[in-house]
Chain A
Amino acid sequence: MTDKRSGVQRLIVPVGLVLPLIAFILVTFVIPLGSMVIQSVHDPEVAEVLPNTLNLLSEWDGTSVPSEEVFESMAQELVLSRESRTTGKVATRVNRIASGTRSVFGKTARRLERIETTELRSAMIDIDDRWKDVELWIAIREAGREYTVKHYLHAVDLERELDGGIHPVSEDQRIYNTLYLRTLFVSLAVTFFCFLIGYPIAYAIANVSDSMAKILLLIVLIPFWTSLLVRTTSWLVLLQNQGVVNDILVWLGLVNDSDRLALIHNMTGTLVAMTHVLLPFMILPLYAVMRAIPTDYMKAAASLGANPAQSFVRVYFPQSLPGISAGCLLVFILSLGYYITPALVGGTKGQLISNMIAYHIQSSLNWGLAAAISVILLTGVFICYFIFDKWVGVDKLRLS
C-alpha cells in the first residue's frame, strides 16, 4: 500500500510543480501564438457578410462589369450588413487590396436604404461610379477568400496582380524586406558590440575580490533597473548635436563648433543605445560561466611554458564559450524584437520590423498582416537558432 501510494506521489509532485508553468505557457504563449498563425491565413469576415455575392462572383469572367444579378445580391447584402454593422469590416478588407475604396461601401449601404428601384446596377453606379471598376470587384472576390496567403505576400513586398500572377510591388511601396534585413543587421551588430564590451567586464568581475565584484555587478545592474525610456533619453542628452559629448569634443578643440558630430538620429545612435540597454544580458551569463572556471588551469598553462596570451586563447577562452553562446543568443534574440529605442534615437534608419508589427496591431488593425510579419520574424529566429545549434551546439549553452 505504502509503495503504491509513494509511486503516485512520486508522479504527482513533479507534475504538480510544473503544472503552473505549463498552464501559464499554454495561456500566455501557445494559444496566442496559435491564434496568431491562424489569423495570418484565415480571414472569414467578408465571406460571412457577402456569401451570396461571392458565390455569384465565382462564376464571373473578371473582365467586364458584373451582371445585374450580382449587383442585386450585393445591394441586399450591403443593406443587411448595415443592420449588423459589418459594412466596415468588408470595406476595410477590400480597401487593403484596392486602396482608396473604403468609402464606397459605407456610402452605398447608407443610400441604398432610401432607394426604390429594381435597376440596381445603374442605381449603384449612380451612387458611386467606382462600382463600374473591374478592379473593385476583383478586390471583393479576393477579399472573400476565407483562406489566403495575401498577408504573407504583402509581408515580403509581393502582390498578386489582376491576372493572378505574383510580382514584386512597385519600388516606392517596398518596405518590409528592407526592414527584415535592417533588423537582422542591427541585431548582429549589437550582439557583436555587446560581446566586445561585455567580455572584459565579465572577466574583471569574475577575477576580482568578492567585495569589488559586488560593486562592479551593481554598476552593471543599476542601468538594468532603470526605465528603458529614461536610459534612451539620457543617450539623447549625451549624444545630440548640442549634447555633452559634442560639447566636450568642441571644448577640447577636437571638433569645430560648426561641424559637430552627428552621433544620434542615425545608425550610430541606434547601436550605442541598444548596446547599452542589452549589455547586462551579455555580462551576466558570461560572468556566471567565468566564475566557475578554476584559476588553476591558467596557472598550469603558465607552468607548462605558455605566455599569458597563449594560455588565454587556448585554455581560458574555450572554457568561457558556453557563456559567450548564451549571452550572444540572448542579446541577439532580444534585439530582434526591440523597437522603442531605435525609433527614438535611430532617425530615418531607426524603423525596424517590429515597428510595423506594432503599427498594424495598434493603428491599422490589420492583425492578419501583423501576424504574417510576426510569423516570418519568428521563423527567422528559429533559423538563427538552428544555425547556432549546428555551429556552436545548444547543448554547450550554459548559464553557470
Chain B
Amino acid sequence: MKSKYLYKTSIALAMAVVWTTGTSAEETLTVVSFGGSYAKACVDGYHKSFEEETGIKIKLEDYNGGLAQVRAQVDAGAVHWDVLDTESAPLMIGCDEGVFEEVSDLELPPAPDGTPAADDFFDGMLFDCGVGTLVYATVMVYNSENVDGEPPSTVKDFFDLEKFPGRRGMRRSPSGNLAWALMADGVPSDRIYEELSTEKGLQRAFRKLDTIKEHVIWWETGAQAPQLLADGEVFMTTAWNGRIFNAQVLENQPFVIIWDGHIRDYGALAIVAGAPNLENAKKFLQHATSTRGMVGVANHISYAPVRHSGLPLVGKHATTGVDMKPHMPTFPANSKNFLWYDIEFWTDREDELIERFNSWLSR
C-alpha cells in the first residue's frame, strides 16, 4: 500500500514539475551576461524595469564571453539561453555560424524626442543578429603618483622609452597593439587599417612593437591591468576604460586615462538561435536598447550609449554621485582622436594574426 501511494505521489510530483516548468517558461527569460559590476549595472539599468513593466521574470546567468557554450547548445539542439550579452567579434562570427536569431526586422523604440530608432542609433550599430548597446574603449593609462614632470599624453609617449622610462602593460593579443604601434609610428588613425592590410604595414607594426618588447608585461584578464598599475609594476598600461573607472572612482586610485588614440568597440545583445522564449527575448531587446535602458547602464558604469539621444541624458553615478559624462568614451573632449575596432578586418584576419603575434612573442 505504502509503495503504491509513493508511486502515485511521485508521478503526481513529476507531472507537477513538468507542468510548472512548462507554464513558467511563458513568463521567464534567461539572460546571459559577463557577471561582476557590469551585470549589476545592467540589472539596475534595465532588468528591473523590464520585470516590473512586463511581469516577465529574468533569470540571469554568467559566462566568460566567447561562443563555445552557445554553439554547443545550438549544435546539440538543447538551447536554454535566450538573450546573450556579447561583443562585436563573437556577434559577427556567431551570426555567420548561425547560432543567433536574425533580428534585423525587430522594431526598436524611438528616441525620447520621437526620432526613429534607425536615425537615433550610431551608424552600424544595428546588426543582422544583434543590437548594439554600449561603447567601451581600450585606453592607455598611467598612475599620476609615478609622474614627476610632464605627464605622457599621446600614443607616441607610450612607445617612447627615453622620455618615459619604465615598463609597459599590454594585452596579450594583436588587436589593439598593432594599431597603436602604427599610430606611434606616425600613421594617422584613418589610415591604420589600410596600412595593416598590407604585408609592409604589418611588418612596420611588428618592428615598432619590437622597440618596446623587452619592457612589456603582457596581461591576460581585464583585472590585471589596473592591478599592475596600482602595484607599480608598470609605468603605463593599456586597459579597458570600465575597469579604470572602477579603480578611479570606487577605489580612489590616482589613475589618469590618455584618451588620445583610444580604440572603440561595442557591446551588443543577441538572441540565441532557437531560444525557448523567443518572443520575450525580442521584448527584452526592445526594452534594453531603448535610450532609457542605455542611460541606465551608463549611470552605473562608464560604458556609453550607442544612441545619439543617450549621452545628453547621462547623469551622476548611482552610488558615488560622480558626474558620469566625462568618463564616457563618446564625451566630446575624449573623442578628438580615436579608432573604431574594425570588425570586418579582424574577423577576416584574426586567426592568422593571433598565430603570427604568438609566434612573434615567442621569438
Chain A residue contacts of B359, Cβ below 8 A: 171-175, 178
Query: By the criterion CB–CB under 8 Å, are B362 and A89 in contact?
Result: no
Q: What 1/0 mask marks residues of chain B from 186 to 227 whose CB sits below 8 Å from any chain A CB?
A: 000000000001000000001000000100011011001001
Query: By the criterion CB–CB under 8 Å, are B93 and A365 in contact?
Result: yes
One of B7-15, B118-126, B275-283, B349-357 at the interface: B349-357
User: Which of A174, A240, A365 is in CB contact (< 8 Å) with B233?
Assistant: A240
User: Which of B64, B172, B348 is in CB contact (< 8 Å) with A99?
Assistant: B348
Q: How far is the CB of A246 from chain B (nearest CB, A)?
A: 11
Query: By the criterion CB–CB under 8 Å, are B348 and A92 in contact?
Result: no
Nearest opposing residue in chain A for B67, CB measure: A365
Query: By the criterion CB–CB under 8 Å, are A363 and B90 in contact?
Result: yes
Query: By the criterion CB–CB under 8 Å, are B351 and A96 in contact?
Result: yes
Known interface pairs A241-B233, A363-B90, A365-B67; A88-B95 also in contact (CB < 8 Å): yes
Query: By the criterion CB–CB under 8 Å, are A88 and B348 in contact?
Result: no
Is A376 interfacial (CB 8 A cutoff)? no
One of B29-37, B96-104, B323-331 at the interface: B96-104
Q: Which of B216-254 contact A (CB under 8 A)?
A: 217-218, 220-221, 224, 227, 231-233
A102, B356: Cα distance in complex, Å: 18
User: Which of B68, B97, B358 is in CB contact (< 8 Å) with A351?
Assistant: B358
Nearest opposing residue in chain B for A242, CB measure: B232
Nearest opposing residue in chain A for B351, CB measure: A364
**Consensus secondary structure, chain A interface:** helix
Chain A residue contacts of B102, Cβ below 8 A: 85
Interface size class of A (residues with CB under 8 A): 35 or more
Query: By the criterion CB–CB under 8 Å, are A344 and B362 in contact?
Result: no
A155, B270: Cα distance in complex, Å: 33
Query: By the criterion CB–CB under 8 Å, are A240 and B231 in contact?
Result: yes
Query: By the criterion CB–CB under 8 Å, are B356 and A351 in contact?
Result: no
A359, B90: Cα distance in complex, Å: 12
Query: By the criterion CB–CB under 8 Å, are B90 and A91 in contact?
Result: no
Known interface pairs A89-B98, A100-B348; A363-B67 also in contact (CB < 8 Å): yes
Q: How far is the CB of A46 from chain B (nearest CB, A)?
A: 13
A205, B68: Cα distance in complex, Å: 44
Q: Which of A65-111 contact B (CB under 8 A)?
A: 85-89, 91-92, 95-96, 99-103, 106
Q: Which of A220-257 contact B (CB under 8 A)?
A: 236, 240-243
Query: By the criterion CB–CB under 8 Å, are B67 and A351 in contact?
Result: no
Known interface pairs A173-B352, A242-B231, A359-B354; A347-B218 also in contact (CB < 8 Å): yes
Nearest opposing residue in chain A for B362, CB measure: A178
**What is the number of residues of chain B that contact chain A, defined by CB distance less than 8 Å?**
43
Q: Which of A335-352 contact B (CB under 8 A)?
A: 343-344, 347-351
Chain B residue contacts of A363, Cβ below 8 A: 66-67, 89-90
Is A362 interfacial (CB 8 A cutoff)? yes
Chain A residue contacts of B224, Cβ below 8 A: 344
Is A366 interfacial (CB 8 A cutoff)? yes
Q: How far is the CB of A318 from chain B (nearest CB, A)?
A: 41
Chain A residue contacts of B352, Cβ below 8 A: 99-100, 173
Is B360 interfacial (CB 8 A cutoff)? yes
Q: How far is the CB of A216 from chain B (nearest CB, A)?
A: 33
Chain B residue contacts of A121, Cβ below 8 A: none
Chain B residue contacts of A100, Cβ below 8 A: 197, 348-349, 352
Is A141 interfacial (CB 8 A cutoff)? no
Chain B residue contacts of A243, Cβ below 8 A: 231
Chain A residue contacts of B350, Cβ below 8 A: 364
Query: By the criterion CB–CB under 8 Å, are A365 and B71 in contact?
Result: yes
Known interface pairs A92-B96, A242-B232, A362-B66; A347-B217 also in contact (CB < 8 Å): yes
Nearest opposing residue in chain A for B75, CB measure: A367
Query: By the criterion CB–CB under 8 Å, are A86 and B98 in contact?
Result: yes
Q: How far is the CB of A313 from chain B (nearest CB, A)?
A: 41
Chain B residue contacts of A236, Cβ below 8 A: 227
Is B26 interfacial (CB 8 A cutoff)? no
Is A150 interfacial (CB 8 A cutoff)? no
Chain B residue contacts of A179, Cβ below 8 A: 358, 362
Q: What 1/0 mask marks residues of chain B from 44 to 69 whose CB sits below 8 Å from any chain A CB?
A: 00000000000000000000111110
Q: How far is the CB of B261 from chain A (nearest CB, A)?
A: 24
Is B344 interfacial (CB 8 A cutoff)? yes
Q: How far is the CB of A204 from chain B (nearest CB, A)?
A: 35
What are the nearest 9 A-B pairs in CB distance?
A88-B96, A362-B66, A99-B352, A175-B359, A242-B232, A102-B348, A85-B98, A348-B361, A100-B348
Listed by A's residue number, 5 A-B pairs whose Cβ atoms lie within 8 Å are: A102-B96, A171-B359, A350-B218, A364-B350, A365-B97
Additional A-B contacts beyond A86-B98, A343-B220 (5; CB < 8 A): A88-B95, A102-B96, A343-B172, A344-B221, A365-B67
